[in-house]
Amino acid sequence: MDIGFIGLGKMGMNMVTRLTQGGHKVVAYDRTADLITQAEAKGATGATSLEDLVSKLPQPRAVWVMVPSGDPTEETIRHLRIILEKDDIVIDGGNTKFHDDVRRAADLQKHSIHYVDAGTSGGIWGLQIGYCLMVGGEKGPVKQLAPIFTTLAPEKGWAHVGGHGAGHYVKMVHNGIEYSMMQGYAEGFELMSKSEYNLDLGNIADLWMHGSVVRSWLLELAAGALKDDPKLESLKGYVQDSGEGRWMLMDALDKDVPVPTLSTALFTRFRSRQEESFSEKMLAALRNAFGGHSVRR
């Protein structure tokens, strides 16, 4: 089918490639002209603007937005609302807070434009193995887009999970679980790195991939990283977050649901970004004050 695609970053370009390889006609746009040229080389039709993209699509149109979350996505969808027409569909495949999906869907509905939110997981590996897609929105538009989802996802790799916002809500929880799993692996491997046994951590990660109850794709990636750099000496322990963990924590607070593992994982990421922690200086100052314990100046 025909689809417009806005945003040609690492994931966006790979998704366009997978779609063109699957026989779909993609009209691609990005603010960076070189990326449009790259998309054309992969079989897409380039567009010079959002208006140009819309003009090159047959009605009813489907336009996938894959730009950074927050203002860039907001501005793009606001612009599309002006230039799209009745029964066209906007798909947001980025990392959006589910409350924003509900608001946007209601706003677009006033203009008879459909909105679908697609929580997308797969990262840079999606081109080869496909993307897991968690889709929210009305049944009709989702059914229309089924050929797109089927091409992007591996077998059984996409599902319509509920109404507007449900796709990004499920993706939010998915990422919260991901944070927690990564933290568990990180702590276990740090302990083994301090062991007196001089363990081969890459080999152990690979071993656990064969029949172990903790096997996972994350562990497979860990095995690769540890074999390339056994002590991870080329990296700094600075870990960003893309927002979903925070949103999940706030949702859990609203619903009185305990999520201690996620909380620890998220706060550990915050600590990783501090070269100097005021709270730890405070601890040192207090121990020195009440007990005369030594401090490092």
Give the pLDDT confidence of 230-279 residue by residue, as tens digits.
999 999 999 999 899 999 999 999 999 999 999 999 999 999 999 999 99
Q: 150-159 pLDDT, tens per residue?
A: 999 999 999 9
Q: Specify the pLDDT at position 242.
A: 87
Measured in degrees and rounded to the nearest 5, phi and psi for residue 276 equal: -130, 125
Amino acid at position 147, single letter: P
Distances (CA, A) of 213 to 10, 191, 198: 32, 19, 24
Residue 294 lies inside a defined structural domain of this protein: no
Please report, for the domain that includes residue 78, its CATH number. Answer: 3.40.50.720
Q: What's the CA gap between 81 and 117, in Å, rounded?
A: 15
Tell me 1's DSSP state.
Answer: -
Residue 115: closest CA among 164, 51, 171, 166: 164
Q: Which residues are catalytic?
A: 171, 178
Q: What's the CA gap between 183 and 141, in Å, rounded?
A: 38
Q: What's the CA gap between 193 and 36, in Å, rounded?
A: 45
Q: What's the CA gap between 50 and 36, in Å, rounded?
A: 13
Q: Same structural domain for residues 146 and 47?
A: yes
Q: Same structural domain for residues 159 and 222?
A: no
Q: Same structural domain for residues 183 and 55?
A: no
Containing structural domain, residue 187: 171-280
Tell me 113's DSSP state.
Answer: -
Residue 296 lies inside a defined structural domain of this protein: no
Q: How many domains does the chain have?
A: 2
| CB burial of residue 194 (10 Å; 0-12, 13-18, 19+) | exposed
Q: Same structural domain for residues 151 and 81?
A: yes
Q: What does pTM read for this prediction?
A: 0.93
Tell me 36's DSSP state.
Answer: H
Q: What stretches in the chain show pLDDT beneath 50?
A: none
Q: Specify the pLDDT at position 293.
A: 84
Tokens of 285: 């100052």
Q: What's the CA gap between 104 and 101, in Å, rounded?
A: 5
Please report, for the domain that includes residue 242, its CATH number. Answer: 1.10.1040.10
Residue 295 lies inside a defined structural domain of this protein: no
Tokens of 70: 């927050």
Q: Is residue 147 within 8 Å of residue 127, measured between CB atoms?
A: no
Q: What percent of the chain has pLDDT over 70?
A: 100
Q: What's the CA gap between 204 and 108, in Å, rounded?
A: 51
Q: Specify the pLDDT at position 176.
A: 96
Q: Specify the pLDDT at position 209.
A: 96
Q: Specify the pLDDT at position 18.
A: 97
Tokens of 254: 């609203």
